[in-house]
Structure 1
Amino acid sequence: MDIVTPVILSGGSGTRLWPLSRKSYPKQFTQLVGETSLFQASALRLTGQDGAGALSFGAPAVLTNADFRFIVTEQLTEVGIDPGPVLIEPEGKNTAPAVLAAALYLAAKDPEAVMLVAPSDHVVPDAGAFRDAVARGMEAVRAGQLVTFGITPDRPETGYGYLSLGTKPDGSGGATPLEGFVEKPDLANAQTMLEAGTYLWNAGIFLFAARDIIAAFEAHAPTLIAPVRTAVEQAEADLGFLRLDPTAWAGVEDISLDYAVMERADNLSVVPYSGGWSDLGSWTAVHELSNPDADGVATSGDVTAIECRNSLLRSEVPGLELVGLGVENLVAVAMPDAVLVADASRAQDVKLAVTALKQKGAAQATALPVDFRPWGHFETLILRERFQVKRIHVKPGASLSLQSHHHRAEHWIVVEGTAKVTIDDEVKLVTENQSVYIPLGAVHRMENPGKIDMVLIEVQTGSYLGEDDIIRYEDIYARGQGAKG
């Protein structure tokens, strides 16, 4: 039986699904469609075996950044997947360095390693059909081919790159030679390629032996080899993570796998796939996968739609009622701190809104009001000059770092569960409806000693309320200084 190691790329910070997806918590970790996050669905899809039992997936390797490292392991554990290696990129350098780092790491462990590289934010409804497609690509991998997966197009799509086959697929579903890559076309060329039947959408999913992709980098992108190899060899273990060396990584070129290797290699094959796929690259794509009704209206959350047509209406805030009245071809997404209202035809241009918000210095451009940490999460309820109110959730058995602040004092009121609170030399339990005051400069910590979530309201007062005003003395998650450590 062939063993394939999934390599899940999960460091992206896409903006095309703003305001739900932001740099602080991008779309792969959100529940956009289905019962799990896109990242969890990707990991579940790459577990088990193909239908014939000829192929089995090993524990997934994940490439992500430091801010998402605990989210990755928590979400895998939630769906019963034991995390494999989690490689931390010091900074985003696109897909080529990430894939090379994974290949070097896996090849050092197993010279015969085969890796399936997949983004963490795609939707593939039929997981079994996809696993079978991977199995069909293994013959080409055994022959030394670099295999990519092409989606059979069902419309003249201008938002995707294409793969050119030269001849129509023979219908066997096996790998076929890949002639070349085509950039995102205009509508006329997309229509021509659709009618030709010899083009597939480029899904950005790859299958190859680790040694073969390393050889391809040596032949076509040799300048990446030395710094990436150094970053892997000098990586430091950090709890269950492997932090790539930041000095070596800083010298790595920012380049995609397609540009660095795939468009230059001559040992390319493609497996056609027709089992359903979406990269959820716009709110229009989300609308299509959200079971719109007979009038083309898809809703989520507390939404009332009256005489609407061909629209997506989502309220992401429990208790916030979004009402659509007589709207058509509209996208409306309500968050606690921002609302998007857009013509559906402009769904691909949401990034323009993010750019405009960045230019005016709006925090909503990149940060959600909910901030996820390894111990739980907090939500900013009110933020004004010299005071801030938060709702803090701490998971059972979890603990915040032992810390102090230069610029703020804090008041804690427990509303659910019990908090174990340390203030300088004093340790005490604070139960529901009780409160405690943390003076400016006091060394303090909160823990949840119970078996249910502990929830408290925190009122901060002071001259500066930024999250970087934290001095950590001890931390069970081995975080350093700074907002997230």
Structure 2
Amino acid sequence: MTSKIIPVIMAGGKGTRLWPLSRSSAPKQFIQFVGEQTLFQSTLKRVDDAALYEAPIVITNEDFRFLVAEQARELGIKLSGILLEPIARNTAPAVAAAAAFVAQRFGDDALLHVLASDHDIVADATYFDTVRTAKKTALSGKLVTFGITPTEPATGYGYIEIGEKLASGAHAVKRFVEKPALPEAEKMLAAGGFAWNSGTFLFRASQVLEEMSTYAPEVEKAARAALSKASSDLDFTRLDAEAFGASPDISVDYAIMEKTANAAVVPSSFTWSDLGSWDAVWKLGTRDEEGNVATGKATLINTKNSLVMSRTSHLAVQGLDGVAVIASEDAVYVGRLEDSQDVGKLVKHLAAAKATAGLTETHPTSYRPWGGYTSVLNGDRFQVKRLFVTPGKKLSLQKHHHRSEHWICVKGTAEVTIGEVTKVVRENESVYIPQGEVHRLANPGKIMLEMIEVQTGSYLGEDDIIRIVDEFGRG
């Protein structure tokens, strides 16, 4: 058994609380909000300490598998495994499957550190002191959760009432408190002895499975069966769909933490945010003298205490206080920061209408294992895309039944295969792909390849693609 901790990073969520930048197909953990890395990449960096951690395990879903692999590759971080959930089943089944995977690979008594992939954390000395206290506590037989010292009476988090101090430096858990109304949150903050529930855990693989067996036996049984019937696909482990789908849809807190007598909490004062709202993003950002956080193309006049972010058009904001103005390539959100916890309700409203449902699902920029593309313009029988291909990567050898394509190289060097001929296309050169012709695009260079693709034809859907050879195992 390893003496190191095995990080288990939960990266399958499809939350849309940061719409319009976050969509079900492009959730917040894979988006760059602050700094030079995505939240998922920041989580990977936080566990990139070979003295403390083994290589991490990531549990995600089918749609995000290549995003996970590519963002880890960009950082040069090796993964111990990528588990694919065939269906969304909340955190308890995911944790149980990961625990069974860890026990199988590292031994029954190996320690798991379960981390959310979409939290922003300052990993300073205080943070790692907390992790070491949690490790000592878990080795003594406890199921440890990390409690964050409250800084305000927040109503968007659950709370933990802190009990007696343990020999390890952690505390027993008195009780878990659901997300409170404001008066109750104010009372708890005034009374002291409460922490925000971060949804982060540390425990032995064998112990969490035993607790699942006692308090959530259907979860434990389904997770073990899903792993035993799992299949390997490239670097991914696909959990069996039928077995995993038999698990109840339940969180770790409900399944075991609120029931076990072995729950412990490490009160933690490190800087933490679950970035669950635009208000949280504003609080995290670097504010100017007027209290504004602005990124992208923006001009603010007589505006204060506001968040303005643009991924596309230039935003001009005048005479406002305490608002969020967020522009993606195809949608703009405007609302009061104090109401930003309710963006989810707005997204449900948009999703219910046929005309706007697509705005909640797909993003103009889609990522693929080779890079990705951004939709630039859509018209009747034509569309324009910007393709970006990572150095050394290539698209599948493919053909389309209903469209032809024009490719214009605007950055880098492209290697283009059309039928039996392969040619090099350099910047400011173009090439035509006839309808039905077998073709392939590759980037043989050292820098990102960018192409403008103009598609013309009677049907332009992404499902009009016949893959003949694909190094990523897609059909």
TM-score scaled by length of structure 2: 0.95
The correspondence of residues 63-142 of structure 1 with structure 2, limited to 5 A, is 63-109=59-105, 110-142=107-139
Query: Which deviates more from structure 2 when the two are superposed, residues 280-289 or residues 23-32?
Result: 23-32
**In structure 2, what is the equivalent of residue 182 of structure 1?**
177
Give CA deviations for 1:237-261 in whole Å, capped at 9, x if unaligned. 1111111122222222221111111
Is residue 398 from structure 1 mapped to residue 399 from structure 2 by the alignment? no
Contact 2:292-2:306 at 8 Å conserved across structures: yes
Match of 1:13 in 2: 14
Instruction: Choose from 343, 359, 364 the match for 2:352.
Output: 359
d(CA) in 1 for partners of 2:447, 2:37: 22
Q: Give secondary structure in 2 for the equivalent of 1:178.
A: strand
Structure 1 residue 156 corresponds to structure 2 residue 153: yes
One-letter amino acid of the counterpart of residue 104, structure 2 = A
- Contact kept in structure 1, 2:103 and 2:206, CA below 8 Å: yes
Deviation per CA, 1:352-406: give whole Å up to 9, x if none.
2211221223222121111111111111111122111111111222111111222
The superposition leaves residues 56-100 of structure 1 with CA deviations (integer Å, 9 ceiling, x where unpaired) of: 111111001122112212222322321221111112211111100
Summarize the Cα distance change of 1:67–1:127 in structure 2 as closer, same or farther, 3 Å threshold.
Answer: farther
1:242 is matched with which residue: 215, 234, 237? 237
Say if 1:433 and 1:47 are closer, same or farther in 2 by CA, change over 3 A. closer
Q: Does 1:325 align with 2:306?
A: no
CA shift at 1:2, angstroms?
4.1
Q: 2:261 aligns with which of 258, 266, 274?
A: 266
**Whole-angstrom CA distance in 2 between matches of 1:366 and 1:261:** 33
Please say if residues 220 and 261 of structure 1, whose CA atoms lie closer than 8 Å, have aligned partners that are also in contact: yes
Distance 2:251 2:132 in 1: 25
**Residue from 335, 341, 346 that aligns with 2:339:** 346
Question: Does the 8 Å contact 2:311/2:327 carry over to 1?
Answer: yes
1:407·1:464 contact (CA, 8 Å) conserved in 2? yes
- CA-to-aligned-CA distance 1:267-307 (integer Å, 9 cap, x gap): 11100001111111100011011121232211111221111
Show structure 2 runs of 5+ residues with no match.
none
- Secondary structure of 1:350 counterpart: helix
Runs of at least 5 residues in structure 1 that lack an aligned partner in the other structure: 50-54, 481-485
Q: Which amino acid aligns with 1:360?
A: A
Query: What's 1:452 paired with?
Result: 447
Partner secondary structure for residue 309 of structure 2: strand
1:164-313 to 2 correspondence within 5 Å?
Answer: 164-166=161-163, 174-313=169-308
CA distance in 2, matches of 1:267, 1:56: 24
8 A contact 2:213–2:221 mirrored in 1: no
Tell me how far apart the structure 2 counterparts of residues 204 and 18 of structure 1 sit (CA, whole Å).
22
SS in 1 for 2:273: coil
CA-based RMSD: 1.8
Q: Which amino acid aligns with 1:291?
A: T
Aligned length: 471
In structure 2, what is the Cα distance between the partners aligned to 1:369 and 1:104?
A: 38
Q: Aligned partners of 2:136 and 2:410: how far apart in 1?
A: 59
Q: Give the counterpart letter for 1:157 in structure 2.
A: A
Q: Which residue of 2 is the match for residue 379 of structure 1?
A: 374
**Residue 173 (structure 1) shift:** 8.6
TM superposition score normalised by structure 1: 0.93
Separation (CA, whole Å) in 2 of partners of 1:62 and 1:210: 15
Equivalent-residue separation in structure 1 for 2:347 and 2:262 (angstroms):
40
1: distance between equivalents of 2:221 and 2:209? Answer: 12
Pairwise CA distance, 1:11? 0.6
CA distance in 2, matches of 1:384, 1:352: 31
4+ aligned runs moved over 4 Å, structure 1: none
Q: Which residue matches 1:483?
A: none
